[in-house]
Amino acid sequence: MIQLDHVTYTYPQAKHPALSDISLEITESSLVAIVGPSGAGKSSLCALLAGFIPHHFHGILQGRALVHGQDIANTPLAELVTHVGYVFQNPFTQLSGAKLTTREEIAFGLENLGVPRLEMAERVDRVIELFSLRDIANRSPYEISGGEMQRVALASIFVMKPRVLVLDEPTAQLDPLGARQVFEAIRTLTNTQSVTVIIVEDKTEWIATFADRVITLHEGRVVLDGSPDAVLTSPLLAEIGIRVSHYTQAARAASRHRLWPSELALPTTLDKAIDGFKRARKKYENLG
């Protein structure tokens, strides 16, 4: 689906590459989270997958980057956008400004492609259901909440049927409720549609619950790549300045006092933390 072979990219005039010798493969229908400190290269990786690098940002691209077997560097952006949908951090940026209702906003891209009316209506209805937007379908896209607006942005990209979705911090500007709505929409998408999602996200508990895989970038390089449990409990995260969840921190501190079951991995979610502490208590009670 996505294959990067020794990809190194340097922005014009930059002293250091933003992406350094990145090799990875992403299979179809997976939900991959990208984490890393500020400046690690997360947005640059997204820009590459969407083709903005090297089609908008010139610079120097070395190595090979393929989407669906097509070389990103040699495929026109107009064709790449049919494979890869890109959703901006701020949903406001994504709105066309030309439409009066969210339904029309979602249909906008299909209109531009000249999709027949009936098919258009069917596809728009489907994504409105998928993203739970029925209640706001006839409202102005500018008079809805941030979480709703981001779901409209997602819907207006997803209606174009890309097989890969790239989301660069889609919940960074949302309140907790809005963020949860967006996460739920993404989860529905990956559970029910065969779409690959690559999401830059720093809410580790959410990543732990939903992602299939976590890739950690640091100074343009992949430093960790694996299951959420393995990556999110790695001591390396704190070293490179990534926030580790309170559950992991609490269990790590407890394990220093032998208050965490030695056979259990450190937890990444509240449920796993509770489970581990219950088990530890049982052991303790049996000893006493």
Ligand X SMILES: Nc1ncnc2c1ncn2[C@@H]1O[C@H](COP(=O)(O)OP(=O)(O)O)[C@@H](O)[C@H]1O
Question: Which residues of the shown chain bind ligand X in the complex (CB under 6 A)?
Answer: 11, 14, 18, 36, 38-44, 57
In 3D space, the residue among 199, 153, 159 whose CA is nearest the CA of residue 30 turns out to be 199
Q: Are 151 and 131 in contact (CB under 8 A)?
A: yes
Nearer to ligand X, 41 or 85 (CB): 41
Nearer to Mg ion, 44 or 234 (CB): 44
Min CB(178)–ligand X separation in Å: 21
Q: Are 28 and 63 in contact (CB under 8 A)?
A: no
Q: Which does 108 bind (CB under 5 to 8 A by kind): ligand X, Mg ion, none?
A: none
Min CB(169)–Mg ion separation in Å: 6
Instruction: Give the whole-angstrom CA distance, residue 217 versus residue 225.
Output: 9
Min CB(37)–Mg ion separation in Å: 10
| Secondary structure of residue 93 in the 3-state scheme | helix
Which amino acid, 180? R
Q: Does 173 bind Mg ion (CB under 5 A)?
A: no
Tokens 């549609």 correspond to what residue? 193
Min CB(256)–ligand X separation in Å: 32
Min CB(207)–ligand X separation in Å: 15
Q: Which does 40 bind (CB under 5 to 8 A by kind): Mg ion, ligand X, none?
A: ligand X
Nearer to ligand X, 18 or 214 (CB): 18
Nearer to ligand X, 58 or 278 (CB): 58
Burial class (CB in 10 A: 0-12, 13-18, 19+), 265: middle
Instruction: Give the whole-angstrom CA distance, residue 208 versus residue 217.
Output: 17
Which tokens sit at 25?
Answer: 């493969």
Q: Which of 3, 43, 145, 193 binds Mg ion (CB under 5 A)?
A: 43
Instruction: Give the whole-angstrom CA distance, residue 12 versus residue 61.
Output: 10
Nearer to ligand X, 151 or 218 (CB): 218
